Structure 1
Amino acid sequence: MRKIITVTLLFIALFQSSTLLAQDLLKSTDLSTLKVDYLSDSDIAKIKAQLQTNNVTIEQAEPMALAKGMSASEFAKLKERLAMPATKTDVVKKDRDDEDKGLEKESGRKQEKIVNTKVKDSINALVFGSELFDNPTLNFEPNLKLATPVNYILGPGDELQVSVYGVQEFNASIPVSVEGKVTIQYVGQIAVSGMTIEAATQKIRNAIAGVYSTVRSGQSQVSVNLTRIRTIKVTLIGSKQPGNYSISSLATVYNALFLGGGPGKNGSYRNIELIRNNKVFTKVDIYNFLVNGDQSDNVGLKDNDVIRIPAYNQRVTLEGQVKRPGIFEMKKGETFTDLLSFASGFNEFAYTASVNVLQKTDKEFKVRDIKSTEFNSYKPLSGDVFRVSKILNRFENRIKIDGAVFRPDTYSFYEGMRISDLIAKADGLKEDAYSNRARIIRLKPDLTTEIVNVNLAKALEGDLEADIGLKKEDIVTVYSILDFVEEYKITIDGEIKKPGVYDYHENLTLNDLLVQAGGLTGSASKRVEVARMIQSEEIDDANSNKAELFNIEITANNNEQLKNFELQPFDVVNIRKMAVYDKPEMVTVNGAVHYAGKYVLAHKKDKIYDVVQRAGGLTSLANVEGVKIKRPIQAKQIEAVESVDLNLGKKDSLQKKLTKKLKEDLKFAIIPVDWKAIVKNQNSNTNVTLFPGDEIEVATFNEGVKVTGNVLLTSEIPYEKGKSFGYYLNAVGGVDNKGWKRKAYIIYPNGKAAVASSFLFIRSYPKVKPGSQIIVPEKPEVKKMSTGEFVSIAGVLASLAGIVIALIR
């Protein structure tokens, strides 16, 4: 046994020496006993830090280590250990140290991070106080920046910072061991568990004074600070998340309740027990904090404390017009006034004279009304449901006046008020007030209404009989004489800048109306017609006129020439246009003419020959077969197409397609011109009269014939005199499989089109001219007859044949 003890002591001594050497690799004088295998990861980390502090690499330290007695094999092991990455334990430790450093930097005190998952309270959502434990920003965590309470009890897991400063210096962070002691170098072990921080500081100071003479003499001072706070265990019973919780030793009851999610479904909020050493230490009423902000019940916790949340004794419900409706827990002896304080009182619409309460008896429900005088004495019973109703939507002293007064509004009514008093409150009658009669709409006792008429003129003159008394809820209406005046209008149209309907005013003249309507246009003539309605009490069958007409002559360039003609209500004024007032209008000449451009139509019946001659005539390059007119399609022409009902059925889109084509695709209509006939005879019907906007196009002579459409090759073939229609189709390879040769047509340079025709099975095609365009359209799709349809038709024909044969027989 003695040998075993000896070997163990030698091993410990060897390990301690290795550790000490590792802690000061560069300063040690003897490294012969260093065993790298015995070094922990933390020892290796300290050697790394030592090398980095002295700015020395492991290669530079090798000769020094070998000179101090370290073997080459041990140094190789050390070099290998230093080259290895940090272990997972070291990383976790480093992260924890970094976290602690950050926390220490922020508060100067460290505490293990406590994480608890919260669950949203859906069961007790209506119970007053439940929202306290659902708010994630409210957690009652202790503030580590505060000074340590003098009554803080130390225990295993705490860490003290012991410092000696002055002549002698010493500084160390010392944890409280599981035995409740702190070990101070050269002083020894001191038991501090169960002591307050104040008592432990005094005990440590006395122990250090026994070793440090300067502390005894007062030349050095001792300070003791709490740098790491221990974690304690508390137990929650009756909470939504009951169980054991690890929390800070500085935590309080509310902190623990928050972590546990607050009371459970039937848990009490007002009779929570804190049990310490198997005895009820205190009872906590959360309502003290919720209603008054009083945290006197929020006491600190100790290790192994138990928080017990019993079931509630009685709960009541408060609904309706209170500021904070919900379910409230009541203590014995509390009254309805206390319940109102929990709910923050009535809101502004509450009926406060009495409160309805639904009570539960042993057998059934019953209803009771609590008067306001009973609020301080009525003690709610468990299960009571209080309903605070809303005040009535009516007024006890309202009266209203509107109409021709200066301040129409709602006013307060008092007994004995008369109509003159109300008009005085409204600052009197306006100038347009109709004083012979005013109307009062009065509410009768059965809530029906009646009308009372008042002579305001007599009432305001002091006639007591006319100055009738008013009642609450009366609505007084003062009429305006403007309400009885008919709204007269007058109309002006024709050559005026702003035609329309205008208000009529007394003494309105024609000059006034002309100026109001912006004045005459430049095309206005001297003739003005005014139509006036005929008014008569009797019907004159001999007079068939519906209106009286006035024909007036004015000077068109002067709006102020008429001074005496007064207008009457509903007159209609028409300013006539000049007989001749046509602005110059133009046509366009393009193509092979000497002077292309725009030309004004100088005569009402200018023809194409006249305008082309003004343009210098056709050039030598002009194609006399290619003269045409492009005439813009007018809006009225499209309207005419739209107005025609083709009776094609609702689903047929032919008419819609035609209208769309006119509006969007075909912006011009082409008029072919036979220029040769015009040159021979200017009275030829092809020498058409031009309209404003017409565009004359003279094509340049082109010897090619363009073939397009459903042909094998779209191309332009040189013109050969005497060649037929088919020659040009064959020149492009003929028609394709979709081409409809029978319907092929040709468009000549002047826009005229010609199609193929047939007579006695002989088909003739139109003559081809230079510059023409041959187009082969596509065959329409024809639905083939199915076998079933063919059989059906054959059956019908067979039946008809049978009938015919039977008739013949």
Structure 2
Amino acid sequence: MDINMRLIVSISTFLISIVGYTGSSYSQAAELANIQSQCRNITPQQRQMAKAAGYDVDQLCSSVSNLNSQESTQQPIRTVIPRGSAVEMNSRGVIGEPTEPVSEEVEFVADLVETTKFIDDSGLTRYGYDLFAGIPTTFAPATDIPVPVNYVMGPGDQLQIQLLGKVSQNINLTVSRDGTINFPELGPISLAGLNFTEAKSRIQETVKEQMIGVRAVISLGELRSIRVFVLGEAFKPGSYTVSALSTMTNALFVSGGVKEFGSLRNIQLKRQGEVITTLDLYDLLQKGDTSGDQRLQPGDVIYIPPVGKTAGITGEVKRPAVYELKNENNLESLIQLAGGYSASAYPNISHITRKSNSGFTTVIDVDLTTKQAKSTRLKDGDLVEISTVLDEYEGVVGLTGTFHRPRKVKWKQNLTLGDVITSIRDFKENTDLNIALIIRKSLPLREISVLHFNPRSVIEGGEDKDILLKPLDRVVTFSAFDASRHSGSSLDLFKETDPEIGSIEEANALEAQLEKEEIESKTNFRVSLLTPVIEKLKEQTSDGQLVRIVEISGNVRFPGVYPLSQNMNTRDLILLAGGLREAAYLGNAEITRKDLSNFESASVEHINVNLAEQLTGRKSFELQPKDKLAVYTTPEYRERLNISLQGEVRFPGEYEFKRGETLSQVISRAGGFTPMAHIQAAVFTREALKLQESARLEELRERMRADIAASELEEVAAGEAAGMNNAEALLNALSETEAVGRLVIDLERIVSNEMTDIQLQDGDQLIIPAFRQEISVLGEVQHATSHLFNEQWTLEDYLDKSGGLTGRADDDRIYVVKADGSVFLPNQSGWLTHQNEMLNPGDTIVVPLDTDRIKSLTLWTNVSQIVYQLALGAAAVKSL
């Protein structure tokens, strides 16, 4: 059979064999490539011969070409997805492309999550396992790397041949199963067993000999695929098809990596039953050495044995992890595996945790600065811990507080305050220059003591500049203002210079700092700054001793608890508390002192001192631990008291008054009333009453919510359901009602001295509205409005003029809110007879809702009345 008939038969057979074909095996791919090559190289003479035999070669080749195009578009990109991704497994257990998780797959992936972490029982990560950790799907062969010269040609490899010279032609030939290529016009050329360089030379020599004036340029096209086995402790052991250029690590990627109990250091490559080489992945991970990563051949077996001896290392090393040991038998080699010590390592104190043969866990202390300790033999399961250097400074002096540059200064012999504080520019603008502290730590017990000094004296060259500093001293300065002028907490400031006091353990720190909100609202910067120091003083106090702290209260700028410094007197404590306030009484102050000298019972002593003498230095009273200084307020000293007069007074405005002054006196100072003043409608408000009203309103809101909730649980008729809507509306009105703090007064009688005058309080307000001629009608009437006052009209007349009552009105509880804020009820004695005489301009008639329609809402009457009254009072206040 000649070549064209062989081609026709091959094409027909191949097309029949792949009916229903949706993906290609590698054998089909090789055959397809061979047929495509023959189609490209068919001659016109062969095409005519096939047509004479009844075959259309072009149509058959077109079918093959379309099939290849379909395959290339449908073939997914081969990859390895990370473990824990959503994957799909088919009925054969093969992991496919990522897809939406299904119930079984979700469980499968969930089981993988812990595996991907590779966490040892010690909490350390197993070194290197996450590098290859993935879920195998398919594999993307490397097609963009140079082909090595020793690459051995095999079936399926494609050669791209370009003929130059007398003949110019591009030919793609595929190595067949018998190791040959079918070169047009030259026939088969055997390449079996040859590497790429040798195969290229053979083809070029053949072309040169048989095609005069033609030379060939040859390169590799698509490479064949090979099948290898990944067995042992692989994540997904099995048979895998990979590129012919693949190496051992490529196959590991395909299989999803190594299980957590598989070896990374003894991966074996077996070929025809013999171990060809072993791969130590640590060489790749730590040195980038790929010399052991051998290229694979068809049928190779990669075997991953169980992990060998392991040891963990934690603490101050660069790569803390659990390592598999190969030739590393001692501590020094394990530290090298971990990348060496970190910058903060302190190898002098290290530990080995070891499982003993007796079944117990033991700890071995080692000093890794010695040669003997470094050579300590490791055992399987050892855990080595490298300690860290202490978070504590040595040989320094700390500067904290209101320094422009809080820092640590190296201590040297004869270092003084004048050496570290050289200018006023060292401090922030608002620094308190009257007093500052030195917190001194004494070794070896690290107990602290406190000294005070005058920063101004240091700056001006006074005697305080010569105070000698010691190692670990901390110089603390304060602001003359409160915490709002400073950012950060007191502990943050201390951590800069003394981590021990700055952290006083987490629980003590929280207690020492109180709540952050409390510090910002109740204390001040200096008190919060010293809180850790005070807590440290409390901790170091022995049984039976008084804590070296003092307290100051009263009229000082920053009252609170302060550390007792050496030789501290009352003047020093007052300065430490920011100084006296304006109202401080200088004549006398009281010191309360505890006396524990009698073991039977403690006693308290009260000592009076003259502050003026203490502050001027004429006398000095030295304080003792737990003393408390109380600074009194100057008798009859008051802050400014003010009342606001608004409306129809001759000179409205803010008026300052003294204690005991009355309302009529202030009105007289304001020039009295204008001719348009409606004295009977005066509104007098007081801050204390406003606070009481606010509390009362909140109480009523809560009670009404409870009543409404109880009513909603009852079975109510349809009419009552409408009543519930009214209740909700009333509750909303109550929620929007604001307290006024109005005090009902008869101003006309007060100014005429017919009744007791009102003693004024700070924040009082008097509003005199202009004369009003109307009577207002509110509530359950057809049209709530105001009417011009008519002396002849009765209550019923005003109600009739407003359209009369609604069906929801409670006509038994109609009441009148007088212009002065007082309330009159219709059922009071004499009302029916003289009601027209009791109505005056500025009054308001209120018709409440009939609250008896819903029996459970017992508060309605009170609530509705309060809402109306407060609304009227608020309207009077806002009318000006």
Tell me the TM-score normalised to structure 1 length. Answer: 0.53
Out of 50, 57, 62, which is 1:43 matched to?
62
Match of 1:157, SS state, is coil
Task: Say whether the 8 Å CA contact 2:416–2:469 is kept in structure 1.
Answer: no
Q: What amino acid is aligned across from residue 92 of structure 1 in structure 2? A: Q
For residues 538-577 of structure 1, the aligned pairs below 5 Å read none
Instruction: Give the Cα separation in 2 of the matches to 1:639 and 1:147.
Output: 91
How many residues are paired up? 575
Map of 1:185 onto structure 2: 184
Q: 1:484 to 1:249 in 2, by over 3 A?
A: farther
Structure 1 residue 274: Cα displacement: 0.9
Task: Say whether the 8 Å CA contact 2:809–2:847 is kept in structure 1.
Answer: yes
Structure 1 residue 353: Cα displacement: 3.2
Match of 2:852, SS state, is coil
Task: Say whether the 8 Å CA contact 2:694–2:738 is kept in structure 1.
Answer: no
Out of 795, 809, 812, which is 1:739 matched to?
809
For residues 731-770 of structure 1, the aligned pairs below 5 Å read 735-743=805-813, 766=836
Map of 2:387 onto structure 1: 389
Task: Say whether the 8 Å CA contact 2:8–2:57 is kept in structure 1.
Answer: no
Match of 2:311, SS state, is strand
Q: 1:240 to 1:667 in 2, by over 3 A?
A: same
Instruction: Give the Cα separation in 2 of the matches to 1:281 and 1:163.
Output: 38
Q: What amino acid is aligned across from residue 93 of structure 1 in structure 2? A: E
Tell me whether 1:240 sits opposite 2:235 in the alignment: yes
Map of 2:334 onto structure 1: 339
Tell me whether 1:779 sits opposite 2:844 in the alignment: no
Structure 1 residue 344: Cα displacement: 0.7
Instruction: Give the Cα separation in 2 of the matches to 1:135 and 1:14.
Output: 40
Out of 305, 317, 320, which is 1:322 matched to?
317
Map of 2:685 onto structure 1: 635
Structure 1 residue 188: Cα displacement: 1.3
Q: What amino acid is aligned across from residue 285 of structure 2 in structure 1? A: L
Instruction: Give the Cα separation in 1 of the matches to 2:674 and 2:768.
Output: 13
Map of 2:725 onto structure 1: none
Q: 1:373 to 1:651 in 2, by over 3 A?
A: same
Structure 1 residue 236: Cα displacement: 0.8
Match of 2:851, SS state, is coil
Instruction: Give the Cα separation in 2 of the matches to 1:314 and 1:155.
Output: 41
Q: 1:41 to 1:726 in 2, by over 3 A?
A: farther
Q: 1:718 to 1:248 in 2, by over 3 A?
A: same
**1:592-627 Cα shifts (integer Å, max 9, x gaps):** xxxxxxxxx99945563xx59xxxxxxxxxxxxxxx
**1:731-790 Cα shifts (integer Å, max 9, x gaps):** 9996554333455579999999997669999999859999999875433316769xxxxx
Instruction: Give the Cα separation in 2 of the matches to 1:370 and 1:718.
Output: 103
Match of 2:240, SS state, is strand
Instruction: Give the Cα separation in 1 of the matches to 2:471 and 2:799.
Output: 102
Instruction: Give the Cα separation in 2 of the matches to 1:746 and 1:583.
Output: 24
Q: 1:582 to 1:378 in 2, by over 3 A?
A: closer
Q: Which moved more, 1:199-208 or 1:380-389?
A: 380-389
Match of 2:291, SS state, is coil
Instruction: Give the Cα separation in 2 of the matches to 1:707 and 1:452.
Output: 75
Map of 2:443 onto structure 1: 443
Instruction: Give the Cα separation in 2 of the matches to 1:663 and 1:547.
Output: 47
Q: 1:487 to 1:153 in 2, by over 3 A?
A: same
For residues 370-381 of structure 1, the aligned pairs below 5 Å read 370-371=366-367, 372-374=370-372, 377-381=375-379
Map of 2:627 onto structure 1: none
Instruction: Give the Cα separation in 2 of the matches to 1:451 and 1:768.
Output: 77
Task: Say whether the 8 Å CA contact 1:355–1:386 is kept in structure 2.
Answer: yes
Structure 1 residue 167: Cα displacement: 2.7
Tell me whether 1:353 sits opposite 2:354 in the alignment: no
Structure 1 residue 424: Cα displacement: 10
Task: Say whether the 8 Å CA contact 2:226–2:243 is kept in structure 1.
Answer: yes
Map of 1:93 onto structure 2: 71
Structure 1 residue 306: Cα displacement: 0.9
Match of 2:213, SS state, is helix
Structure 1 residue 255: Cα displacement: 1.4
Q: What amino acid is aligned across from residue 168 of structure 2 in structure 1? A: E
Map of 1:76 onto structure 2: none
Map of 1:63 onto structure 2: none
Map of 2:715 onto structure 1: none
Structure 1 residue 662: Cα displacement: 8.9
**1:664-722 Cα shifts (integer Å, max 9, x gaps):** 6899999999xxxxxxxxx9x9xxxxx875323457xxxxx998854678899999999
Task: Say whether the 8 Å CA contact 2:157–2:222 is kept in structure 1.
Answer: yes
Map of 1:695 onto structure 2: 770
**1:211-249 Cα shifts (integer Å, max 9, x gaps):** 42113xxxxx21111111211111111212211111111
For residues 1-12 of structure 1, the aligned pairs below 5 Å read none
Map of 2:144 onto structure 1: 145
Map of 1:252 onto structure 2: 247
Instruction: Give the Cα separation in 1 of the matches to 2:638 and 2:701.
Output: 46
Instruction: Give the Cα separation in 2 of the matches to 1:203 and 1:152.
Output: 15
For residues 643-662 of structure 1, the aligned pairs below 5 Å read none
Match of 2:197, SS state, is helix
Instruction: Give the Cα separation in 2 of the matches to 1:723 and 1:584.
Output: 29
Instruction: Give the Cα separation in 2 of the matches to 1:575 and 1:749.
Output: 34
Instruction: Give the Cα separation in 1 of the matches to 2:789 and 2:423.
Output: 95
Task: Say whether the 8 Å CA contact 1:532–1:572 is kept in structure 2.
Answer: no
Instruction: Give the Cα separation in 2 of the matches to 1:640 and 1:749.
Output: 19
Task: Select the structure that is richer in strand.
Answer: 1
Map of 1:224 onto structure 2: 218
Map of 2:201 onto structure 1: 202
Task: Say whether the 8 Å CA contact 1:319–1:386 is kept in structure 2.
Answer: yes
Instruction: Give the Cα separation in 2 of the matches to 1:769 and 1:451.
Output: 76
Map of 1:124 onto structure 2: 118
Structure 1 residue 97: Cα displacement: 9.6
Q: 1:411 to 1:177 in 2, by over 3 A?
A: same
Match of 1:291, SS state, is helix
Q: 1:757 to 1:587 in 2, by over 3 A?
A: farther
Q: 1:573 to 1:424 in 2, by over 3 A?
A: closer
Match of 1:43, SS state, is helix
Instruction: Give the Cα separation in 1 of the matches to 2:217 and 2:808.
Output: 110
Map of 1:156 onto structure 2: 155
Q: What amino acid is aligned across from residue 779 of structure 1 in structure 2? A: D
Structure 1 residue 307: Cα displacement: 0.8
Q: What amino acid is aligned across from residue 387 of structure 1 in structure 2? A: E
Instruction: Give the Cα separation in 2 of the matches to 1:157 and 1:33.
Output: 33
Task: Say whether the 8 Å CA contact 2:773–2:788 is kept in structure 1.
Answer: no
Larger Rg: 1
Q: What amino acid is aligned across from residue 159 of structure 1 in structure 2? A: Q
Map of 1:299 onto structure 2: 294
Q: What amino acid is aligned across from residue 443 of structure 2 in structure 1? A: L
Match of 1:296, SS state, is coil
Tell me whether 1:265 sits opposite 2:253 in the alignment: no
Q: 1:650 to 1:759 in 2, by over 3 A?
A: closer
Task: Say whether the 8 Å CA contact 1:409–1:426 is kept in structure 2.
Answer: no
**1:283-339 Cα shifts (integer Å, max 9, x gaps):** 111111222221111121111111111223321222333222221111246433221
**1:179-206 Cα shifts (integer Å, max 9, x gaps):** 3222222121222243211111112123
Q: What amino acid is aligned across from residue 158 of structure 1 in structure 2? A: D
Structure 1 residue 160: Cα displacement: 1.0
Instruction: Give the Cα separation in 2 of the matches to 1:13 and 1:360.
Output: 69
Structure 1 residue 450: Cα displacement: 9.1
Q: 1:190 to 1:778 in 2, by over 3 A?
A: same
5+ residue gaps, structure 1, are: 47-85, 101-113, 216-220, 454-466, 490-500, 505-529, 537-545, 549-568, 589-600, 613-627, 674-682, 686-690, 700-704, 786-809
Map of 2:504 onto structure 1: none
Q: What amino acid is aligned across from residue 178 of structure 1 in structure 2? A: R
Map of 1:285 onto structure 2: 280
